[in-house]
Chains A and B, each alone.
Chain A
Amino acid sequence: MDMRSLLRTLERATLRDIALVCLADALVGASFGAISVSGGLPLWVPIALSVLVFAGGSQFAAVGVVLSGGGALAAVATGLVLNARLLPFGFTVADVLDGPVWRRVLGAQLITDETAAFALQQGEPRRRRAAFWLCGIALYVVWNLSVLLGAGAGGLIGDTDALGLDAAFPAVLLALVLPSLTNRRTRTAAVVGAAVAVAATPFVPAGLPVLLALVGLLFAGRPGPAAAGSGPGVGSESVEAPERMAPVEKEAVR
């Protein structure tokens, strides 16, 4: 995996898009580190989650459940349901990782919304492979560094409520999930789920309301012929044709 030949294989526009996605994810990562630590978690938690789980949405979700008083197992369950979407992504990019077992084992950890989208954007197998590995390696490095920096900064913050940081957590998630709500059925399912979660909050242990939201899946309907406007983000209908999306929208949640 020679980095220079990866760079030469890809078009300038693709390289620029990858850089923009890295930049956007760096900001998300720094927010994640800062919110986790300022919320009261020890420094190692956001760092270990980032290195080992490497999926932003589930990292935010797990920390969110824990910070709101939920149990560790509820946090794990929420994160796992969220990351189940990586299963189809794995099948989608399987051809990119074709080859020796070590390549599949290493490459699998780099499967994210973004890497799957960039790989699919490229037609030619050589370019698909280059886009996947370059985006994956760059994101892995950038994500973990930015989480580390954010976590360090988060430790310096004093009164987090006075600074409104408790609003930053849902604000980040909202910004991340909005692009994937273009599909009407997804929206309906999400609104029903959210209503159930909020209504259940006074009555059930913390962490459980979010899982109860899954009853919203009853409104998910069937897969449409073309999921209009959905991108590679979380909950997107497919990871096809990401070129229609602005680079910023590709950031989504890892």
Chain B
Amino acid sequence: MMPLYAVLLLAVGTYAFRLAGPLLGGRLALSERLRHLLAVAAALLLVALVATGALTQGHGFAGWARPVGVLVAGVLALRRAPFPLVVVAGAATTAVLRLCGVG
């Protein structure tokens, strides 16, 4: 569940990240090192979400249908297929595999 206070916490924190620059812009500079780490952290978290979202369900393995669907989507995305095609192809692959009895 996502209670209202969680939505508000995320919103306020995010807004604070956004507002710091415009308010302090002239008086403070961020180091290259910090910029780099923040950028890598964002990419890293998204990849971790992809991996856990594709492979796990609860505390166990999600079954083969889902990761195979995500893999198909990833290959299409690498080949620069349009975004809707990437998502629909991923979901459709998983759906068809389940229809064929793959978990």
Using a CB–CB cutoff of 8 Å, the interface residues on chain A facing chain B are 24, 27-28, 31, 41, 45, 48-49, 52-55, 57-58, 60-66, 68-69, 72-73, 75-76, 78-95, 97-98, 104-105, 107-109, 111, 161-178, 180-181, 185-186, 189-191, 193-198, 201-203, 206, 209-210, 213-214, 216-217, 220, 222-223, 234-238, 248, 251, 253
Contact = CB atoms under 8 A, between A and B. Distances in A.
Majority DSSP secondary structure for residues of B touching A: helix
A93 B17 CA distance: 13
Contact of A170 (B15, B29, B70, B82): B70
B52 A209 contact: yes
Of the listed residues B20, B39, B55, B78, the one surrounded by the most CB atoms of chain A closer than 10 A to its CB is B39
A139 B99 CA distance: 38
A45 B78 contact: no
A251 B13 contact: no
Contacts of B32: 223
A171 B18 contact: no
Contact of B19 (A90, A163, A216): A90
Instruction: Please give me the 3 A-B residue pairs with the lowest Cβ-Cβ distance, nearest first.
Output: A90-B21, A235-B43, A94-B25
Nearest to A112: B18
Contacts of A238: 35, 39
Nearest to B97: A164
A222 B33 contact: yes
18 contacts: A45-B2, A55-B14, A62-B6, A72-B1, A78-B45, A84-B41, A87-B21, A87-B30, A171-B70, A175-B77, A175-B86, A197-B48, A198-B56, A217-B40, A234-B46, A235-B39, A238-B39, A248-B83
